[in-house]
Amino acid sequence: MAILKVIEVLSSSTTSWEDATASAVAEAAKTLKNISSVYVQDMSATVKDGKVDEYRVNLKITFKLAR
């Protein structure tokens, strides 16, 4: 039986929501092993001078705990 853990992570990017998600997974992978999935729970953006300034994601990362 596998034991999985879910953590909540916030990330941002000036490029896109996809880039913010990929950056969060890459950063989490530096310290977490066995990441199996990511669930984007919420997306938002900040606006400056009538243009999107920053893309933000709130996501949940699931990983398997080592025995």
pTM of the model: 0.88
Query: What is the model's pLDDT at position 67?
Result: 73
CA distance 65 to 44: 30
Q: Is the pLDDT of residue 1 over 90?
A: no
pLDDT, one tens digit per residue, over 6-56 is 999 999 999 999 999 999 999 999 999 999 999 999 999 999 999 999 999
Whether 8 contacts 58, CB under 8 Å: yes
For residue 64, give both structure tokens. Answer: 């398997």
The domains of the chain are located at 4-64
pLDDT at res. 7: 97
Question: What is the CATH code of the structural domain delimited by 4-64?
Answer: 3.30.1660.10
Q: What is the pLDDT of residue 37?
A: 96
Would residue 50 be called left, alpha or beta, if left means φ above 0 and alpha means ψ between -120 and 50 degrees? left
